[in-house]
């Protein structure tokens, strides 16, 4: 990773976010700061993820659910990696139950996610 570039990674759910963040921490220990951003973490951790990098601090990778998709600017993010997946509620009529299902994200969501990379300057998007 470039030393002046922070990355924002979009995954469909909190479990995937935690798993990927853990793997990144294991592989990139000491070279980058890996942060999680999803609805199951506390407000302090969410604030830390959306605040800018400390002056002279290492590059940051914020691994997030769609929580960071819109109306949120994460300072320093110039790279977005989008899994192209999201979790949406669906009703299973056969079972008479509702649940979350992983689906491809909408084109509008993909564009919103891409826009996170260029909020404060030029950026790059990688769509998986």
* Residue pLDDT, tens place only, 32-44: 999 999 989 999 9
If we measure between CA atoms, which residue out of 89, 120, 86, 117 comes closest to residue 104? 86
Per-residue model confidence (pLDDT) at position 74: 82
* Residue pLDDT, tens place only, 50-66: 888 888 899 999 999 98
Query: In the structure, what pLDDT confidence band is assigned to residue 71 with cuts at 50, 70 and 90?
Result: low
Percent of the chain with pLDDT over 70: 94
Query: In the structure, what pLDDT confidence band is assigned to residue 97 with cuts at 50, 70 and 90?
Result: confident
Superfamily of domain 6-127 in the CATH hierarchy: P-loop containing nucleotide triphosphate hydrolases (3.40.50.300)
């Amino acid at each position: 990773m470039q030393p002046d570039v922070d990355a924002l990674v979009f995954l469909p759910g909190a479990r995937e976010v935690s798993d990927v963040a853990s793997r990144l921490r294991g592989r990139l220990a000491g070279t980058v700061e890996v942060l999680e951003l999803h609805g199951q973490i506390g407000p302090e951790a969410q604030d830390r993820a959306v605040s800018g990098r400390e002056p002279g601090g290492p590059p940051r990778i914020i691994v997030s659910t769609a929580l960071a998709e819109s109306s949120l600017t994460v300072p320093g993010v110039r790279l977005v990696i989008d899994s192209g997946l999201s979790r949406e509620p669906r009703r299973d009529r056969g079972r008479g139950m509702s649940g979350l299902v992983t689906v491809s994200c909408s084109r509008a969501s993909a564009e919103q996610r891409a826009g996170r990379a260029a909020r404060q300057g030029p950026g790059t998007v990688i769509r998986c």
